[in-house]
């Protein structure tokens, strides 16, 4: 009798309209149910039956209902799908193609729309790029994707690299231009410095050598440093096809065991590279350094030149010789003298920076070694004295370039870092007081005060305090107008020493040349800054993703199965500990259930980076703890560890 009753239909409509709605992001779990995260404090349960309508990461509007005395979510409207363009693994069933997205907690098998040729192109286990074209919340009966591109076959050893690059829509090959015969595009006058004893110091396998240095002592304890930088803009016209490609890439993409160059290798590793005894055009800078280690700002000179590097040296060779270990010796007396002078300058500048700026603490880097037969190994690399010699030389050059650009143009591509914003500065002050370190907000938000804080923290040498302070710091960025770099301790900083690898340095080259040659400078806008910044971020994420993939393969090797590792706690999340294995640099996660038997007795404080058990602090960020590998999840490239008791 109530069938098609208009009064009943109106009643249902009114009840539906009064049902509260919430907006948030879907977070799925391995057990089929999920949560709708509204903000950092609020989330609502999504039952398994309702999770079938959405995917992890979808931004949706949903009805908030009560079911069995519990608040639950019923998805209603899709605001933004998590999947649009994505990568995944092909599954072939009954002559039909499906794709499984390669994302954690997103393992739905999605039907593919395709033409008949795809059945021959794609095989089970292959990797592909796809686009989501149908979504259940849009009224479609099922999720569906369109295959766009095949990435790589299932057995190819390059899967970690090619899949990662495809996921982030990054180039997988060096740039290609129709005319790869590169000739000088400039006729500017250049100084002939080919007789000077320029040397290069790099890793032994470096092919794209972009900096050479020469030094002489102008008076007791005073030096003149000449930095010569490869000049790709002499071969690449502004606005040309190759220039646009370089702008789109913005950087050479350095991945573990592989690099994708910003410029064609013919340019970056041959024509422009400052190879030993090769006649090369350069953009150069001569800088005088005074007895106290400061830069004489009145004597900075930028000019174009020709050089011939007299020797290609490696960090290992030079460091061993300075440390009086190993058998290597400089090939000539004049090169020996260059190394000795550079060493003295390095020590002088480090002393100056320790008093007036920010001096870096020695760090450890981890590098993958990949054998021809596919075996993975990890090598620890420490910053040695030769690394510091080049580092100090390049810092001198970049500080000088920033001052030169500011003086003559007032713009360029500057590297900036703003230290703390006011809110974070207040949190820093409160935190430091607990350790009897007394500063003011006004003090640490100034460049001078920030440098003082960093120097005090270096003396205190407490890694827990350092880690907490770093959480409050701003991120580094690019700017087209001068600005301070708190992280380095300089009023302005602009890199120009890696133009083979960074488009921002190519831009600064062109600006410096316009000053030298008294020409109209190219104009910059905010779009350039945002593009370079975004590309840098994508490259870093890709590097991390490949590393995670290789670590899951590396730690599955037999010798690591039952081994005890020392791990440094790097972060505390809401339900576990993140740590880095000191021996090889792998990041692992220790869930609460593998940390303490009774989860109710555990309290994870993410903001303070601490873990309490029964009200007593047991672990904190920077602690070193013994762990063993509990599980390796290859599909999500995650490594689960447990505490070794």
Question: Is 505 a known active-site residue?
Answer: no
CA dist., res. 431 & res. 291, Å (int): 39
**In b/e form, how buried is each residue of 421-451, taking b as 16+ CB within 10 angstroms?**
eeebbebbbebbeeeebebebeebbebebbb
Q: Is 109 helix (H, G, I), strand (E, B) or coil?
A: coil
Assess whether 208 carries a catalytic annotation. yes
Candidate list 208, 320, 505, 545, residue with the active-site label? 208
- Name the CATH topology of 19-80: OB fold (Dihydrolipoamide Acetyltransferase, E2P) (2.40.50)
Q: Return d(Cα 268, Cα 228) in angstroms, integer.
A: 16
Model pLDDT, residue 7: 54
Under 8 Å between Cβ of 129 and 101: no
Structure tokens at 540: 């870093």
Same fold, 19-80 and 85-156: yes
CB atoms within 10 A of CB 558: 6
Q: Contact, 74 vs 63, CB < 8 A?
A: yes
Task: For residues 213 and 50, give the distance between their C-alpha atoms in angstroms, rounded to a whole number.
Answer: 65
Closest to 418 measured CA to CA, from 505, 493, 336: 493
Cα–Cα distance for residue pair 147/131, rounded to 1 Å: 7
218: three-class secondary structure by DSSP: strand
Residue 365 φ then ψ, to 5°:
-115, 150
Q: Could you give the CA distance from residue 102 to residue 163 in angstroms, rounded to a whole number?
A: 9
Active-site hit among 210, 231, 320, 505: 210
Active site includes 210?
yes
| DSSP per-residue string spanning 433-455 | HTTT----HHHHTSHHHHHHHHH
Structural contact between residues 177 and 191, judged by C-beta atoms closer than 8 angstroms: no
| Residues 127, 163 contacting (CB under 8 angstroms) | yes
Q: Tell me the three-class secondary structure of 511-528, residue by residue.
A: HHHHHHCCCCCCCCCHHH
Please list the alpha-helical segments (H only) found in 204-274. Answer: 241-249, 265-266
Active-site hit among 58, 102, 126, 211: 211
pLDDT number for residue 486? 96
Q: What's the confidence (pLDDT) of residue 1?
A: 45
Whether the Cβ atoms of residue 457 and residue 469 lie closer than 8 Å to each other: yes
pLDDT value of position 32: 83
Topology (CATH) of 555-643 = OB fold (Dihydrolipoamide Acetyltransferase, E2P) (2.40.50)
Is the torsion defined by CA of 291, 311, 265, 154 positive or negative? negative
Tokens standing for residue 197: 């004893």
Phi and psi angles of residue 258, each rounded to the nearest 5 degrees, phi first: -160, 140
What is the phi/psi pair of residue 16, to 5°?
-65, -40
Active site residue 292: no
Among 315, 493, 551, 554, the one annotated catalytic: 315
- pLDDT of res. 5: 59
Report the alpha-carbon distance of residue 54 to residue 140 in Å, rounded: 12
| Gyration radius from the chain CA atoms | 29
Task: Give the bridge partners for 79, in sequence order.
Answer: none
Question: How many Å apart are CA 81 and CA 57, to the nearest integer?
Answer: 7
The whole-number pLDDT of residue 6 equals: 61
Question: 257 to each of 156, 228, 369, 500, how far by Cα in Å?
Answer: 15, 28, 7, 19
C-alpha of 522 from chain center? 28
Spatial separation of the C-alpha atoms in residues 407 and 84, rounded to whole Å: 47
Helices (H) and strands (E) in the chain, counts: 15, 31
Q: What is the mean pLDDT of each successive set of 10 residues along the chain, which is 645 residues long?
A: 54 59 89 87 89 91 86 91 92 89 83 76 91 91 91 92 96 86 87 97 94 96 96 95 96 94 95 97 97 92 98 96 94 97 97 92 87 82 94 98 97 96 94 94 96 93 93 94 96 98 98 96 94 96 96 91 93 93 96 90 92 94 95 91 89
The matching CATH number, chosen from 1.10.10.10, 3.90.1150.10, 2.40.50.640, 3.40.50.300, for 85-156 is: 2.40.50.640
Known catalytic membership, residue 362: no
Q: Active-site residue 249, yes or no?
A: no
Specify burial of residue 80 (Cβ count, 10 A radius: 0-12, 13-18, 19+): exposed
Residue holding tokens 């592909």?
A: 128
CB-CB contact of 539 with 574 (8 Å) = no
Closest to 199 (Cα-Cα) out of 215, 217, 218, 223: 215
Which residue in this structure is represented by tokens 């008093």? 355
CA dist 77 and 135 (Å) reads 11
Domain ranges of the chain: 19-80, 85-156, 191-416+486-545, 422-473, 555-643
The token duo for 370 is 């990949």
- Count of alpha carbons within 13 angstroms of residue 136, beta-carbon side: 17
Separation between Cα atoms, residue 594 and residue 259, nearest integer Å: 38
Q: How many CB atoms lie within 10 A of CB 109?
A: 13
The Cα 319–Cα 444 span in angstroms is 36
Q: Are 499 and 230 in contact (CB under 8 A)?
A: yes
Nearest 5°: the CA angle 351, 352, 353 is 95
Would you state the structure tokens that stand for residue 145, as one six-digit string? 């994707």
| DSSP notation for 81-106 | -S-SEEEEEEEEETTEEEEEE-BTTB
Kindly name the residue from 58, 102, 202, 320 that is annotated as catalytic: 202
């Amino acid at each position: 009798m109530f069938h098609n009753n208009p009064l009943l239909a109106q009643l249902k409509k009114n009840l539906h309209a009064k049902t509260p709605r919430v907006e948030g992001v879907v977070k799925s779990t391995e057990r089929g149910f999920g949560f709708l995260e509204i903000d950092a404090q609020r989330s609502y349960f999504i039952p398994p039956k309702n999770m079938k309508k959405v995917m992890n990461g979808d931004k949706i509007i949903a009805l908030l209902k009560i079911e069995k005395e519990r608040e639950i979510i019923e998805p209603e409207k899709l605001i933004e799908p998590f999947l649009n363009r994505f990568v995944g693994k092909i599954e072939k069933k009954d002559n039909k193609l499906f794709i499984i997205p390669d994302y954690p907690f997103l393992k739905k098998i999605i039907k593919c729309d395709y033409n008949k040729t795809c059945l021959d192109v794609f095989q089970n286990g292959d990797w592909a790029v796809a686009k989501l074209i149908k979504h259940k919340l849009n009224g479609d009966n099922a999720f569906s994707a369109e295959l766009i591109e095949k990435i790589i076959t299932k057995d190819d050893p390059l899967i970690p690299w090619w899949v990662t690059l495809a996921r982030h829509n990054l180039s997988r090959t060096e740039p290609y231009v129709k005319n790869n015969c590169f000739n000088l595009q400039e006729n500017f006058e250049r100084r002939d410095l080919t007789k000077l004893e320029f040397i290069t110091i790099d890793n032994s396998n470096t092919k794209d050598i972009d900096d050479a240095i020469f030094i002489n002592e102008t008076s007791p304890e005073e030096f003149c440093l000449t930095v010569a930088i490869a000049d790709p803009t002499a071969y690449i016209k502004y606005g040309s096809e190759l220039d646009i490609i370089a702008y789109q890439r913005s950087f050479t993409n350095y991945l573990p065991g592989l690099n994708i160059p910003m410029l064609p290798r013919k340019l970056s590793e041959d024509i422009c590279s400052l190879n030993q005894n090769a006649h090369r055009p350069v953009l150069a800078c001569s800088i005088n350094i005074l007895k106290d280690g400061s830069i004489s700002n009145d004597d900075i000179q930028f000019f174009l030149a020709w050089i011939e590097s007299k020797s290609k040296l490696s960090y290992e060779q030079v460091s061993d010789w300075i440390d009086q270990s190993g058998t290597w010796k400089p090939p000539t007396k004049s090169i020996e003298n260059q190394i000795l002078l550079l060493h003295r300058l390095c020590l002088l500048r480090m002393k100056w920076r320790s008093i007036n700026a920010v001096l870096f603490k020695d760090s450890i880097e981890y590098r993958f070694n990949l054998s021809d037969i596919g075996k993975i190994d990890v090598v620890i690399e420490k910053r040695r004295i030769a690394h510091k010699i080049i580092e100090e030389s390049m810092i001198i050059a970049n500080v000088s370039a920033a001052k030169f650009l500011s003086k003559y143009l007032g713009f360029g591509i500057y590297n900036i870092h703003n230290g703390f914003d006011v809110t974070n500065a207040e949190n820093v002050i409160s935190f430091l007081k607990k350790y009897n370190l007394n500063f003011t907000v006004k003090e640490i938000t100034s460049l001078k005060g920030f440098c003082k804080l960093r120097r005090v923290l270096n003396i205190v040498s407490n890694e827990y305090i350092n880690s907490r302070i770093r959480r409050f710091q701003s991120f580094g960025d690019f700017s087209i107008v001068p600005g301070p770099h708190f992280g380095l301790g300089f009023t302005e900083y602009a890199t120009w020493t890696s133009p083979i690898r960074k488009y921002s340095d190519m831009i600064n080259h062109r600006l410096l040349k316009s000053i030298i040659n008294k020409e109209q400078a190219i104009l910059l806008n905010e779009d350039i800054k945002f593009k370079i910044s975004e590309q840098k971020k994508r490259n870093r994420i890709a590097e991390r993703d490949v590393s995670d993939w290789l670590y899951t393969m590396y730690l599955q090797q037999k010798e690591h199965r039952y081994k005890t590792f020392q791990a440094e706690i790097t972060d505390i999340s809401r339900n576990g500990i993140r740590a880095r294995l000191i021996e090889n640099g792998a990041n692992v996660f220790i869930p609460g259930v593998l940390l303490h038997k009774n989860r109710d007795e555990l309290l994870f404080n993410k903001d303070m980076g601490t873990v309490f058990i029964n009200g007593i602090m047991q672990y904190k960020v920077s602690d070193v703890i013994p762990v063993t590998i509990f599980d390796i999840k290859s599909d999500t490239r995650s490594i689960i560890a447990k505490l070794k008791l």
